[in-house]
Structure 1
Amino acid sequence: MSSTENLALPTGYQLQDYEIRKVLSSGGFSFVYLARDKDKNTVAIKEYLPTSIALRTDSATVQPNADDVALFRRGLKCFFDEGLSLAKIDHKNIVRVLNFFRANETVYMVMQYERGKSLQEYILGQQGLVSEQFIRRVFGELSNGLREVHTQKLLHLDIKPANIYIRLDGSPVLLDFGSARQALSENLAKFSPSYTPGFASPEQYYDRKLLGPWSDIYSIGATMYSCLTRTSPPAANQRIKNDLLIPAVKLGKDHYSQSLLEIIDSCLSLDYLERPQSVFSLQKALLESKPLPEKKSSLVNKIVLALNKPILMKKTPLQKAAATHTTII
């Protein structure tokens, strides 16, 4: 069975107290399902299944390759430990783990199902610039949750726009903690690197002994930078060889306050000692400094904007459903 599509649990499968409804996402390390619990509540369930070293048998059991049993168990333990740690965190800005259990010779993590869109979708959906007020509010709130994560001795190590979710009420939530993925990817013979180029810190490439809260802070800086540019910054390993990153203070000087741009640049320092050393210090800087006042539009600009504004058509029920969806990676 080589196709990863055939490895997913089928619709209607009864997984202990949960009924599988559909696959939300799949990757090299896990599947995420939309499911329903015994009280008919909708949840998301993440299943540990590294497809390059394990397969699902006809009975739904996950079976590692004979040569990869030790590696599979190592990742499984990290996944289980991650679930234990996240289950202790009850914070509105961190994906809520409701339950985790063993079944089918693997581990499952049951998470709260969120409605909204990813920050990546939000950025790409903006016709103009992402406002400074939005950036400060979202990352100020997100810092509350990340502080709690670091208190639990956890690092995220894959913060990026796709892993930050904006709920319908505008509040952000951080998704996809991948400690099992991080552990397995150290075996580069079988796994590609688990970090995301442009958002991963230099120490994720070169010296993992230097990893710390400042590594997640680099990723926060890269994510804020992407709010300015609508794209990812250059990868850290390329920056070390030839740093072509245009500083935020230069890139956004006409649209954002100097203080915000300096915060972003400090987070993106290649030297981890030059970054904010804690999420608290980053959050304090975001909340203390004042944003640049929004420029008032002239009458001419208002008329131009009004003429260029698209006509809003009444949405059909199908369009409404498509406009609001949920993805947990």
Structure 2
Amino acid sequence: MAFDTTEPLAHTEFGDELLPGTKLFHGQYRIVRFINCGGFGITYLAKDSLDREVVIKECFSSTFCRRTETRVRARSQGTREHMSKIVKSFLNEARSLASLTHPNIVGVHQVFEDNDTAYMAMDYIRGSDLLEIVDEKKVDLAPEQIVGIAARLVSALGYIHDNGLLHCDISPDNIFINQEGEPILIDFGASRRSAVGEAQKYSGLSVVKDGYSPHELYTAGGNSGPWSDIYSLAASLYHAITGTAPENCQSRLAALAEKRADPVKPLAGSVPGYPRGFLESVDKAMSVVPAARFQTAEDWSRALPQSDPRSDRKVVLLRRLTPQVTPAPAPVVRPRRPTSRAAAPDLSALRRIGGFAGGWLVDSDSGSVLASETARSDQDHAETMTTAINMAKANLKALCHGHQEERIDDILISLGRRMHLIRPLDGSSRLCLCVALDSESANPLLARMQVRRIAQGLKS
């Protein structure tokens, strides 16, 4: 779990969880408090060696494991082999998840072993899960909001499947809505390789959730594939639309076999306010028979209605900024070609940021471009680059006057259809990474995290 509802969670006195203050991975992480536990592990709020908040997920199944002080042991001799398989599977899938970079998928910082078990450190995201939002009526989700959530999560599913993974545990409590309103898909504890690759189906890592799991996940060796995640996401959207969970898929299958009416009534024609085609697509994705569903996320995405582009114009600064002076006209900026003696820094990782339109490593004093990476779809590359560099020079110079001692993490400027994210490189007073993003498809919070990681790699 990678979020915080801002309400403190009490520590369970006699639980299996690690105590606050426990250090992991040679002291790199320190447990702050317990967050939650599930069938595959325990999650904690922790701080890393730079005092940043992260979420730590520990591989711990109470069915097969017990704790002796901090170390995790097999509950009995008979469960030793099974526990070993669980830890191995956790590590394999955690490493696969760590390779994913998508604005609507929780980011994994590190995967490691300690205390004879496995851990992963993930983004700490404040917000609430979709189940809480709907069942506790924290927010009345409007149809256009649900349509937007669906489009982003279908995109995330396509990215997961394109990387050879299945999530296998999508449900409203595994969909977080962060403080910017972006849906984040979390908890890949039950994930496995898709049917295209080798299957990993250990009984200790299998999970079904009544109402959300398709029937093929109820039986070992079921014909699971991308269509299985598609069903679970559609069932989660059904809950958000109607306010109640859909009927168990096993009951639906029994009704179909007995030629009775499906206990899940179609959404199309019964719920007002949604654009044409959206509810029909959810109904199709929730078909009991796998072959009747969308077979890929791309198929579903094509059936979704297209949202209107944004037209607002606003400026947001993520850190306190002194009054800005009007900059002098900037000279024409030409990228510096790398010499044969030193290769230009690699910025190709920027392409994995959602809504990426261009990125440049800039000397803010001279305006020289030391490295660049552009999106193939950007038709206004030169204009976008000049705008980004001019804003970077102006803002960084303004920040330097009288604020030498104040750390500036980054600056985000939203300008029509473009957002410009400016991040000074640590240890440099003049080098900065400028990234242009499409306002319609970018997630500012996730983009900041991704740019931070890329900038840290550049300075090293």
Q: Indicate the TM-score class for this superposition, using the shorter chain for normalisation.
A: 0.7 to 0.9
Q: CA deviation at 1:54?
A: 1.2
Q: Give the paired residue count.
A: 282
Residue 71 of structure 2 corresponds to 61
SS of alignment partner, residue 101 of structure 2: coil
SS in 2 for 1:210: coil
Tell me the CA shift for residue 4 of structure 1. Answer: 9.3
Local SS of the residue matching 1:89 = coil
Contact kept? 2:127, 2:176, Cα under 8 Å: yes
**SS of corresponding position for 2:218:** helix
Distance 1:126 1:73 in 2: 42
In structure 1, distance between residues paired with 2:235 and 2:32: 35
| 1:259 alignment partner in structure 2 | 277
Query: Partners of 1:54 and 1:83 in 2: how far apart?
Result: 19
Give the Å deviation of 1:179: 2.8
Q: CA deviation at 1:153?
A: 1.2
Between the aligned partners of 2:274 and 2:221, the Cα distance in structure 1 is 34
Q: Is 1:71–1:184's contact at 8 Å kept on the other side of the alignment? A: no
Partner in structure 2 of residue 145 of structure 1: 156
- Equivalent of 2:203 in 173, 177, 186: 186
- Give the alignment of 1:89-128 within 5 angstroms: 89-126=100-137
User: Is 2:268 aligned against 1:249?
Assistant: yes
Counterpart of 2:215?
202
Per the alignment, in what secondary structure is the counterpart of residue 93 of structure 2? helix
CA–CA distance in 1 between the matches of 2:138 and 2:106? 29
Equivalent position of 1:14 in the other structure: 23
Deviation (angstroms), 1:5: 4.0
Based on CA coordinates, which of the two structures has the bigger radius of gyration? 2
Q: Deviations over 1:273-318 (max 9, x none)?
A: 111111111122214489xxxxxxxxxxxxxxxxxxxxxxxxxxxx
Matches within 5 A, 1:26-65: 26-58=37-69, 60-64=70-74, 65=76
CA distance in 2, matches of 1:225, 1:30: 28
Give the Cα separation in 2 of the matches to 1:218 and 1:41. Answer: 37
Change (3 A) 1:268 1:104: same
Offset from partner CA, 1:76-120 (integer Å, 9 cap, x none)? 111000111011111111010000101110000100100111112
Task: Measure the CA separation in 2 of the matches of 1:72 and 1:127.
Answer: 39
Partners in 2 of 1:34 and 1:219 — Cα distance?
Answer: 28
Which residue number corresponds to residue 230 of structure 1?
A: 243
Contact 2:169–2:191 at 8 Å: present in 1 too?
A: no
Q: Secondary structure at the match of 2:304?
A: helix
Superposed displacement of residue 162, structure 1: 0.8
SS at match of 1:121: helix
Deviation at 1:127, TM superposition (A): 8.0
- The answer on whether the counterparts of 1:31 and 1:48 sit within 8 Å (CA) in structure 2 is yes
Equivalent AA in structure 2 for residue 15 of structure 1: L
Question: Given the alignment, which residue of 292, 295, 299 partners 1:277?
Answer: 295
Q: Which amino acid aligns with 1:186?
A: S
Shift of 1:231: 1.2
Structure 2: distance between partners of 1:113 and 1:128? 22
2: distance between equivalents of 1:61 and 1:126? 40
- Describe the shift of the 1:180–1:284 C-alpha distance in structure 2 as closer, same or farther (beyond 3 A): closer
The TM-score normalised by the length of structure 1 is 0.80
| Counterpart residue number, 1:321 | none
SS of match in other structure, 2:166: coil
1:219 counterpart letter in structure 2: S
Q: Is the 8 A contact 2:175 2:183 kept in 1?
A: yes
**Matched residue of 2:32: which SS?**
strand
- Provide structure 2 residue ranges, at least 5 long, that are not aligned to the other structure: 1-11, 193-198, 256-261, 309-460
Letter in 2 for 1:78: S
Distance 1:200 1:5, change over 3 A: farther
For residues 173 and 127 of structure 1, what CA distance do their matches in structure 2 show? 17
* CA 1:40–1:129: 2 relative to 1, 3 Å: closer
Which amino acid in the other structure matches residue 37 of structure 1? D
Q: After the TM superposition, which residues 66-77 of structure 1 pair with which residues of structure 2 at under 5 Å, given as runs?
A: 66-77=77-88
Q: Summarize the Cα distance change of 1:129–1:10 in structure 2 as closer, same or farther, 3 Å threshold.
A: closer
| Equivalent residue, structure 1, for 2:224 | 211
> When you count strand as a share of all residues, which structure comes out higher?
2
- 2:34 and 2:221 map into 1 onto residues whose CA distance is 33
Looking at both structures, which has the greater relative contact order when contacts are Cα pairs under 8 Å and sequence separation is at least 6?
1
TM-score of the superposed pair, with normalisation by structure 2: 0.58
Q: CA, structure 1 residues 38+224, in 2 after alignment: closer, same or farther (shift >3 Å)? A: same
User: Does structure 1 retain, via aligned residues, the 8 Å contact 2:165–2:191?
Assistant: no
CA-based RMSD of the aligned residues comes to 2.4
1:171 maps to amino acid: E
